[in-house]
Amino acid sequence: MAEEGAAGAVHLLCLAASSGVPLFCRSSRGGAPSRQQLPFSIIGSLNGVHMFGHNLEVTLRSARAQGTAVAWRTFHDSVTLIVLSSEPGCAELRLERLLELAFGAMVLLVGLEEVTGIRNVERLKKDLRATYGLIDSLLLDSELAGDLTQCVDCLAPGDGPLLQEVLTGFAEELGSAFACLVAGGRVATGTEGWWRLGAPEAVLLPWLVGTLPVQAARDYPVYLPHGSPTVPHRLLTLLLLPGLELCVLCGPQPALGQVEPQLLERWWQPVLEPLRACVALAPRGLPTGVPLHPDILGLLLLHLEQRRSLFTVDLGADEGPSPKIRRHLLRSFYVLVTSIHFPPEDKAEEWGCPTEVPRLCYVVSGAATEGPRDREDPGAGLRLVALQTGPRRLLLLTSPRSPTHALRGLATHTLQALSPVL
Q: What is the band of 91 on the pLDDT scale with cuts at 50, 70, 90? A: confident
Locate all alpha helices (DSSP H) within 20-159, ordered by sequence. Answer: 40-55, 92-110, 112-116, 121-128, 132-139, 146-149
Please check whether residue 146 lies inside any domain of the structure. Answer: no
Residue 82 pLDDT greater than 90, yes or no? yes
Across 7-17, average pLDDT: 90
3-state secondary structure (DSSP) of residue 198: coil
Tell which wins on pLDDT, 354 or 18: 18
Across 393-406, average pLDDT: 93
The Cα 32–Cα 58 span in angstroms is: 35
CA 62 to chain CA mean position, Å: 21
At residue 354, the pLDDT reads: 53
Cβ(157)–Cβ(188) below 8 Å: yes
CATH number assigned to the domain comprising residue 226: 3.30.450.30
> Do 353 and 398 lie in a common domain?
yes
Please check whether residue 263 lies inside any domain of the structure. Answer: yes
The residue from 86, 114, 141 where one domain ends is: 141
> Do 382 and 319 lie in a common domain?
yes
Across 72-93, average pLDDT: 91
At residue 37, the pLDDT reads: 83
> Do 47 and 130 lie in a common domain?
yes
Lowest mean pLDDT among 36-40, 182-186, 247-251, 300-304: 36-40
Please check whether residue 84 lies inside any domain of the structure. Answer: yes
Tell which wins on pLDDT, 4 or 256: 256
At residue 216, the pLDDT reads: 92
User: 91-120: b or e for each residue (b if 16 or more CB lie within 10 Å)?
Assistant: bbbbbbbbbbbbbbbbbbbbbbebbbebee
Please check whether residue 357 lies inside any domain of the structure. Answer: yes
Across 331-335, average pLDDT: 94
The residue from 106, 141, 176 where one domain ends is: 141
Q: Supply the Cα-derived Rg of the chain in whole angstroms.
A: 22
Q: What is the band of 348 on the pLDDT scale with cuts at 50, 70, 90? A: very low
At residue 347, the pLDDT reads: 52
Please check whether residue 317 lies inside any domain of the structure. Answer: yes
The residue from 108, 141, 174 where one domain ends is: 141
φ, ψ of residue 57 to 5 degrees: the values are 60, 40
At residue 371, the pLDDT reads: 44
Across 5-10, average pLDDT: 69
At residue 356, the pLDDT reads: 62
Residue 4 pLDDT greater than 50, yes or no? no
Q: What is the band of 231 on the pLDDT scale with cuts at 50, 70, 90? A: very high
At residue 7, the pLDDT reads: 65
> Do 305 and 276 lie in a common domain?
no
Tens-digit pLDDT profile for residues 145-204 = 999 999 999 999 989 999 999 999 999 999 999 999 999 899 999 999 999 999 899 999
Average pLDDT, the chain: 88
> Do 320 and 270 lie in a common domain?
no
The Cα 74–Cα 57 span in angstroms is: 13
Domain that holds residue 322: 296-421
Sign of the C-alpha dihedral computed for residues 243, 248, 249 and 250 taken in this order: negative
H or E element at residue 203: helix 201-211
Please check whether residue 286 lies inside any domain of the structure. Answer: no
Residue 247 pLDDT greater than 60, yes or no? yes
At residue 399, the pLDDT reads: 92
> Do 388 and 307 lie in a common domain?
yes
Q: What is the band of 353 on the pLDDT scale with cuts at 50, 70, 90? A: low
3-state secondary structure (DSSP) of residue 135: helix
Please check whether residue 2 lies inside any domain of the structure. Answer: no
3-state secondary structure (DSSP) of residue 117: coil
Please check whether residue 372 lies inside any domain of the structure. Answer: yes
Residue 6 pLDDT greater than 80, yes or no? no
* Sheet with 79-85: strands ordered across: 32-34, 22-29, 9-16, 79-85, 68-75, 62-65
CATH number assigned to the domain comprising residue 19: 3.30.450.70
The Cα 234–Cα 185 span in angstroms is: 18
Q: What is the band of 369 on the pLDDT scale with cuts at 50, 70, 90? A: very low
> Do 323 and 272 lie in a common domain?
no
175 burial (CB, 10 Å; 0-12 / 13-18 / 19+) is exposed
Give the best-scoring range by mean pLDDT among 48-57, 368-377, 406-415: 406-415
CATH number assigned to the domain comprising residue 317: 3.30.450
The percentage of residues in the chain with a pLDDT greater than 70, rounded to a whole number, is 92
Residue 325 pLDDT greater than 50, yes or no? yes
> Do 15 and 135 lie in a common domain?
yes
Tens-digit pLDDT profile for residues 42-67 = 888 898 988 888 788 888 899 988 88
> Do 20 and 89 lie in a common domain?
yes
> Do 275 and 328 lie in a common domain?
no
Parallel/antiparallel/unpaired status of strands 68-75 and 79-85? antiparallel
> Do 331 and 237 lie in a common domain?
no
Locate all alpha helices (DSSP H) within 269-388, ordered by sequence. Answer: 272-281, 323-336, 345-348, 372-376
Give the number of domains in the chain. 3
> Do 15 and 134 lie in a common domain?
yes
